[in-house]
Amino acid sequence: MKPEKKLLRLAIVVSGDILIISLAYLVAYLIRFGRLARFFERFPSIFLVLMMAAYLAVFYLFDLYALERSSPGRGPFGQVALATGVAAVVALILKYALFLFPIGRGILLIASVLVFLFLLTWRNACGYLFRLLIKPRQVLVLGTGRRTADIREALGASPHEFRLVGQSLDPEGGNVPDSGRQGNPSTQPSSATGQVASLIERQAVDLIVADHIPSQNPGLDEALLTARVKGIDVIDQSEMYQRLTGRVPIDWIGGAAWVLNAEEAVAAEPSYAEKIKRLMDGAISAFVLVVSLPFWPLIMLFIKIDSRGPVFYRQSRVGKNERVFVLLKFRSMLAEAENEQALWASADDRRITRVGRLLRRLHLDELPQLWNILRGDMSLVGPRPERPEFVESLKTEIPYYALRHIVKPGLTGWAQVNYPYAASLEDSREKLEFDLYYISHRSLLVDLKILARTLQAFFAGDPKKKRA
């Protein structure tokens, strides 16, 4: 989806949410007191602004603005209810903390019910509204083979954003199946220039995805150039696939050239960006460490009561430039879990203790890793650090696996928020594709996006659970 369309959708949804919250509290006050007199005495303008910001922030954390979905808000009934409840509690805390008297229980209860009902109705209405206002982009795919099949599948996963109107049968663009006026594909051989131009005109194509730019066919190159001059977007299949999926398929990497480009991009990163990233790592880690420190004795006590063994778990991990460091965690497994050999962990691993399962669910077992970040072994965002035993094996089984070590490992990362659990060779391969995307696109803005997604996963639950 074009950025301007995403912004339009976001503006529509957020505007509706602001109206819903305002209307809900006005109606709740009217129901409670029978009139709106003195409303702004109980709800000063500055409080209304802060309350609105709190509601929108909570909605974001609970993933209610996931606009890549076909219709925002068609998510779980419970997710909307939980977001509404948490937002109401935050508003109540703001009222107590800043204005020293609470929102009336009657007003809060009525407003929360109205927000919930209005929110569900508005979110479902948005799905129909977007289909009327925002038409899917008409896409022409030029190319054949596995890559083109992958592109078609990725486009098909977003039917409200893209509509495939044609695909070449000839890698050089000679034959293009035309979806026709009734949407039935037909194959009509003709010149690349003539067929592409004809299809563009009939189907109002506004995006062309080509296998090779430039191609080896002068006629196809001319057609692509003509399309570009007319304002039609032309994009390489590899770049399009990365935009659609957020990953770099290992099979698509063009050998040493891609590897060298990725390494050069990391090496050429401005020094100020690295310094800002390091400063951000230190500031956030120190803050979370200080805030969480009072809970550490309780966590340590529960671990000792639940099972015998040390409180902290120390394990060798591979960091930047394949330097091995000692990772710290709260112990969540039985002390003798790996006496014989290193084993893959899984979500339902029997070696996990009862307290450990709770710590993992709340991600509290990872709190000691903040010390690793402060030491400089890790960053807040980056590929997940793996054990040396696994790394040596994975480097022989998965091409380009060593590339993930050209940046610092992270407490969270692009792979973690998209494919959280790796418990096999195939999982590690898929996670590497997300790691490669992060390495080739990383920036401070991307890091902030990943941190926000991590908070969303914590509050709203993980939408990318390990597939069975």
What are the pLDDT digits (tens) for 336-364? 766 556 666 655 667 888 998 999 888 89
Query: Does position 460 have pLDDT exceeding 70, yes or no?
Result: no
Rounded to an integer, the average pLDDT of 387-409 is 91
Rounded to an integer, the average pLDDT of 411-439 is 87
Q: What's the pLDDT score for residue 135?
A: 81
Q: Which domains does the chain have, with CATH numbers?
A: 3-133 (no CATH), 137-245 (3.40.50.720), 264-460 (no CATH)
Q: What's the pLDDT score for residue 342?
A: 62
Give per-residue pLDDT as tens, 152-200: 888 888 877 888 887 765 544 444 444 433 344 433 334 555 667 777 7
Determine which of 192-196, 260-264, 444-448 has the lowest per-residue pLDDT on average. Answer: 192-196
Rounded to an integer, the average pLDDT of 1-24 is 85
Q: What's the pLDDT score for residue 312?
A: 93
Q: What's the pLDDT score for residue 347?
A: 58
Q: What's the pLDDT score for residue 287?
A: 94
- Which of the pair, 268 or 23, is modelled with greater confidence? 23
Q: What's the pLDDT score for residue 253?
A: 79
Give per-residue pLDDT as tens, 136-160: 888 988 877 888 888 888 888 887 7
Q: Mean pLDDT across the chain, nearest whole number?
A: 81
Q: What's the pLDDT score for residue 434?
A: 94
- Which of the pair, 251 or 279, is modelled with greater confidence? 279
Rounded to an integer, the average pLDDT of 293-321 is 93
Give per-residue pLDDT as tens, 96-121: 887 777 788 888 999 999 999 999 89
Residue 43 banded pLDDT, cuts 50, 70, 90: confident
Q: What's the pLDDT score for residue 96?
A: 82
Query: Does position 18 have pLDDT exceeding 90, yes or no?
Result: yes
Q: What's the pLDDT score for residue 200?
A: 76
Give per-residue pLDDT as tens, 329-342: 999 888 776 655 66
Q: What's the pLDDT score for residue 345?
A: 61
Q: What's the pLDDT score for residue 74?
A: 43
Q: What's the pLDDT score for residue 300?
A: 95
Q: What's the pLDDT score for residue 432?
A: 93
Q: What's the pLDDT score for residue 101?
A: 74
State how far the alpha carbon of 66 is from the alpha carbons of 63, 126, 209, in Å: 6, 12, 25
